[in-house]
Each structure stands twice: as structure tokens, then as C-alpha cells.
Amino acid sequence: MSVRLTFCLTRLPHLSRTEFLDYWYDVHAPLVRERAELLGIIGYEQSHTVDGDPAAPLAAHRGAPGAVYDGVASLWFESLDAFRSGGRTREERVAAAELVEDEKNFIDLSKSPLWMTRDRIVVARDGLCDE
């Protein structure tokens, strides 16, 4: 069963949301794509926060905070063992370190939690994504 590493991203304070999202998609994503096979990544998705926080009224109605992250990164691995096996070789450690070094250019790592999950799909409709 596959697992997902979820990473809630907070941008560095000197970056606008647009600068953050552009860097993440145009600079960082290609680095992940280039290293995906080596690191055992079978899927990578970026969820970009929508400008203007249109969900704010719903959040307020529920007593929830508004948008607190600038985006969410999701990386899928075949299994927990496959995830854990990354970094065994020098080449894998270098690739992972390069990604973390680049993350320091746009992510406030101290305010960006991550965790591992197993997904249980409840509803899925073909054509959900427009890309």
C-alpha cells in the first residue's frame, strides 16, 4: 500500500505569495522531478493556496483559522519501506540534500510541518483535475 508524505508549506517572510508559488513550481518542481526515480518518489503534487482566501467565510462559520499555509506538497512512495530505503546510497543522500538546500530558498522550514499518511479514497471522480 502506498504512503504519502504531506508537507504544509509556509513561505519565507521576504517572499510574496506569488514569488513563493512561482519559485516552488518553476524552480523546485523540476528538481524534484529530476530526482524522483532515484528517491523512490512515485507521485508529486503541489496544492497552491488560492488568492483572497475564498474559504474564509466557511472557516469562520466552523470556528476554524483561515488559510495558514501557502501550499501543500504531497509526495507518494510505493510503501513505507520504500520511503525508508531512500538515502541508503551516497547518490540518494546527495539528491535529498540538494532538495532540502533548495527548499531553504523559499520555505520557512521551522513553520512547515510534515507527516506520513496512508490514503483511504472515499470519493473519486474522473476528470477531477484540470491539468
Mean pLDDT over each residue of the chain, to the nearest integer: 92
Residues 46/24, Cβ–Cβ less than 8 Å: yes
34 — pLDDT class (breaks 50, 70, 90): very high
Question: 84-91: long-range contacts (C-beta < 8 A, 24 or more apart)?
Answer: 85/40, 86/39, 86/40, 91/38
What pLDDT score was predicted for residue 128?
A: 63
Architecture of domain 3-117: 2-Layer Sandwich (3.30)
Residue 57 CB neighbour total at 10 angstroms: 10
Strands of 114-117's sheet in order across: 41-48, 71-77, 3-9, 114-117
Q: What is the pTM of this model?
A: 0.87
Tell me the C-alpha distance between 119 and 41, whole Å. Answer: 16
Residue 6 grid coordinates: 504531506
What pLDDT score was predicted for residue 52?
A: 83
